[in-house]
């Protein structure tokens, strides 16, 4: 395995050429940085530098992550080189170490499965309330407005819920994270909006149009681009 000096490593700090050092190991992250779960800017910030303490501070299962980094390994830091590059701010290094210690003491890296179960139950309960509202009170203005806000409020936590599962942050096995993520994003988020749009586009007289419009606007944050994308999906995959 070749060895590299800090002088050589620091040359690779471009968008098209990125190296970094973690625990005396040199990794070429040029192609992989765009796939980084937290974005290419976060990991790209450490191009040409040592990223050991930042890596330790923000990754829960270190051995699991390191398995995926093996294909990126290109060499070692030369034995005569210091563990940190000379330009590294010592205060930042100490802050990262303190952050890791604090998160471990607070058990922030341990998943509370009950929390995610209750969050999922919370979403189902709110959506049940909306359908009970229209069933019991009918299609009046007040029930419609109440339904729109409750459904929009239930979709907000659904978005964060699918985000956590999508980043493989809940279960130790990625398979379970993928299954629940697909259910959450496919049935609680996108599928809900698509059904509403299909109802509008098919001019379904059994569902109040006045309910659908504020519902869609609230769910999509009044974003024209998101609504346009959903309309295309609804037309592409009709019911």
For residue 33, give the DSSP letter: G
Q: What Å distances lie between residue 212 and 140, 149, 193, CA to CA? A: 13, 11, 9
Q: What span, in angstroms and rounded, lies between the C-alpha atoms of 150 and 90?
A: 49
Report the chain's terminal Cα–Cα distance, integer Å. Answer: 57
CATH number belonging to domain 3-105: 3.10.120.10
8 A C-beta contact, residue 140 and residue 211: no
Q: What Å distances lie between residue 127 and 58, 122, 132, 200, 206, CA to CA? A: 35, 9, 9, 19, 19
Q: Coil, helix or strand for 73?
A: strand
pLDDT in tens, the chain (239 residues): 899 999 999 999 998 999 999 989 999 999 988 888 777 788 888 888 988 888 888 887 777 788 888 999 999 999 888 877 766 777 888 898 898 899 888 888 788 889 888 988 888 888 788 778 877 887 677 877 787 778 777 777 887 888 888 877 788 787 888 888 888 876 666 555 555 545 544 544 444 444 445 455 544 444 445 555 555 554 555 54
In the chain, CATH 3.10.120.10 sits at: 3-105
Strands 25-28 and 17-22: antiparallel
Q: Coil, helix or strand for 3?
A: strand
Instruction: Pull the structure tokens for residue 225.
Output: 């681009």
Model's pTM, two decimal places? 0.58
């Amino acid at each position: 395995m070749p060895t590299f000096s800090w002088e050589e490593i620091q040359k690779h700090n471009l968008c098209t050429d990125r190296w970094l050092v973690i625990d005396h190991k040199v990794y070429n992250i040029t192609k992989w940085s765009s796939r980084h779960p937290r974005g290419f800017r976060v990991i790209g910030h450490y191009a040409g530098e040592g990223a050991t303490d930042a890596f330790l501070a923000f990754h829960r299962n270190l051995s699991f992550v390191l398995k995926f980094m093996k294909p990126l390994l290109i060499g070692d830091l030369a034995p005569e080189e210091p563990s940190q590059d000379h330009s590294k701010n010592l205060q930042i290094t100490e802050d990262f170490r303190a952050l890791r210690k604090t998160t471990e003491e607070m058990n922030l890296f341990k998943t509370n499965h009950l929390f995610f179960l209750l969050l999922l139950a919370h979403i189902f309960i709110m959506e049940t309330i909306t359908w009970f509202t229209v069933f019991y009170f009918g299609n009046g203005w007040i029930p419609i407005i109440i339904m729109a806000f409750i459904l929009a409020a239930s979709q907000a936590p659904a978005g964060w819920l699918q985000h956590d599962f999508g980043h493989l942050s809940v279960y130790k096995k990625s398979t379970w994270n993928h299954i629940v993520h697909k259910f959450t994003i496919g049935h609680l988020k996108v599928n809900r909006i698509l059904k509403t749009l299909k109802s509008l586009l098919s001019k379904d007289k059994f569902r109040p149009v006045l309910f659908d419009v504020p519902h869609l606007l609230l769910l999509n944050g009044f974003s024209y681009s998101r609504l346009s994308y959903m309309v295309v999906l609804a037309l592409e995959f009709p019911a």
